[in-house]
Amino acid sequence: MVEHVVVIGAGVYGAAVAAALTRRGARVTVVDAGALAGGTSGATFSWVNSCGKRPRSYHDLNVAGMAAHRRLAADVPHGDWYHEGGNLEWAADDAGRAELRGKVAGVLDYGYDARWLSRAEALRLEPDMDPAGLPDDEIAYFPREGWIDPVRLIGHLLSSAVAGGAESVAHDGVTGLEVTAGMVRAVGLASGRRLLADAVVNCAGPQAAAIAELAGLVLPMRNTRGVLVSTSPAAVSPSRVIHSPHVHLRPDGGGRVLLHTHEIDGAARVSGTGEISVDPSAVGKVVEAGRALYPGLRAATVEGVRVGERPIPGDGLPVLGRVVALPNFHFAVSHSGATLSVHAGDLVAGEVLGEDHDEALAAFRFERPALAAR
């Protein structure tokens, strides 16, 4: 019988798993090597979507994740972390337009909500954009997408877990897992504390492979860095996710705007002492691209630069649920954690406690051949 579960990692996955476990009556300890919500979850664009995600099983999992966010937001009227304003996307050249047409056709075939807008229609949604930055037509609009404030979501989920009896432990990383007779029996922490466990859930994000190794498992990962730029408050009002050819952006609370490009991700550097920095000229280019699209950002300054490490399993798909060879050790690791965490975390928590979610999780098992081949 599973009574005490140790959840490793206090990001969106760890918080979601812990809340779902305590809701089912389990005793839970959540441990993290750093601050709660202080890792990747605090440095993510946190776009909630299933836009062009394949295969179909992965698309469907993300759609279910979007629905779970809506249900949670409806159940917690005072919650302020979920924002469903939609997503606008357009391309700058023929190749980009062809790719976007293919993506829209693909999601429509899946029954996903997408439509084409003209420049005038897009400006009615986002009147602060510079019309010159938009094409005449072929602006894709995905109205059910949105974004979350991950730190606020984690705060809600962890407070729900603690109210249900969970213990949260910060700044005390996992240093060892005691495995005997094909089961994890205890979790050792850097402080010297030893936690007896009936089950363990690996929600360690970028460090998931290292935690798996402590259990004698090899988890292929291909993590990447993500860089985000947050502006100071500005008199401009983007109200949804924007994917333009030169900059991606969304609101960031309090009048701030969060900016990103794929190019800036490559501008992060790690020193010999482990300190991460970002080339200021790359930051400047992102800000200028944002100002070109939203002229109201010209008065804004850079308030912060966030660098996160995206946890991406080797074949790009989530790793979820129990391990056959170590049946009380479970994974909840993926890219797209902002979208998936509430739903997938609930599935994993249910399986930890004996519920049958094999149909939903079968495509994302640790043992799948495509992951092992990486």
pLDDT at 216: 97
> pLDDT per residue over 182-194, tens digit each?
999 999 999 999 9
Residue-wise pLDDT for 225-241, tens only, equals: 999 999 999 999 899 99
Provide, rounded to the nearest whole percent, the portion of the chain with pLDDT above 70: 100
**CA 164 to the chain's CA centroid:** 25
Assign 59 to helix, strand or coil: helix
Q: Grade residue 355 by pLDDT with cuts at 50, 70 and 90.
A: very high
Residues contacting residue 120 through CB under 8 Å, at least 6 positions apart: none
111-168: pLDDT as tens digits: 999 999 999 999 999 999 999 999 999 999 999 999 999 999 999 999 999 999 999 9
In this prediction, residue 338 carries a pLDDT of 95
Whether residue 253 has pLDDT greater than 80: yes
Angstrom distance (rounded) from CA 137 to CA 149: 31
User: Taking all residues of the chain, what is their mean pLDDT, rounded to a whole number?
Assistant: 95
End-to-end CA distance of the chain: 35
Domain with CATH 3.30.9.10 in the chain: 224-310
Instruction: Indicate the residue type of 205.
Output: G
* Whole-Å CA distances, 52 to 246, 325, 374: 20, 33, 23
Q: Does residue 10 register a pLDDT over 90?
A: yes
Percent of the chain surpassing pLDDT 90 = 91
d(Cα 20, Cα 22) in Å, to the nearest integer? Answer: 6
User: Does residue 242 contact residue 87 with C-beta atoms inside 8 Å?
Assistant: yes
Segments of the chain assigned to CATH 3.50.50.60? 4-50+150-220+314-372
CB 13 within 8 Å of CB 332: yes
pLDDT for the residue 26: 97
d(CA 44, CA 309): 9
Residue 343 has pLDDT above 80, yes or no: yes
pLDDT band at 272 (very low <50, low <70, confident <90, very high): confident
CATH number (3.30.420.40, 3.40.50.2300, 3.30.9.10, 3.40.50.720) of 224-310 reads: 3.30.9.10
Strands 268-270 and 276-278 turn out to be antiparallel
CB 42, CB 230: distance < 8 Å: no
Residue 175: which of 221, 223, 210, 219 has the closest Cα? 210
- Contact predicate 297/304, CB 8 Å: no
CA dist., res. 91 & res. 263, Å (int): 16
Helix (H) or strand (E) holding 5: strand 4-8
Q: What is the pTM of this model?
A: 0.96
Which pLDDT score is estimated for 77? 84
Q: At what angle do helices 150-163 and 337-352 cross, to 10 degrees?
A: 20
Of the listed ranges 7-11, 31-35, 36-40, 207-211, the least confidently predicted one is: 36-40
List pLDDT tens digits, range 281-314: 999 999 999 999 999 999 999 999 999 999 999 9
Superfamily, domain 4-50+150-220+314-372: FAD/NAD(P)-binding domain (3.50.50.60)
Q: Is 103 exposed, middle or buried (0-12, 13-18, 19+ CB in 10 A)?
A: middle
Biggest alpha carbon–alpha carbon distance for the chain: 66
Confidence of residue 66 (pLDDT cuts 50, 70, 90): very high
**Rounded-to-integer distance, Cα 157 and Cα 345, Å:** 11
3-class secondary-structure state, position 96: helix
374 pLDDT above the threshold of 70: no
Pairing type for strands 139-142 and 146-148 reads unpaired
- The predicted model gives 330-343 an average pLDDT of 97
Q: Where are the beta strands (DSSP E) in 209-301?
A: 224-231, 241-243, 248-251, 257-260, 268-270, 276-278
Q: Where residue 36 falls among pLDDT bands split at 50, 70, 90?
A: confident
Cα–Cα distance measured from residue 301 to residue 234, given in angstroms and rounded to the nearest whole number: 9
User: Does the pLDDT of residue 335 top 70, yes or no?
Assistant: yes
* pLDDT above 90: residue 1: no
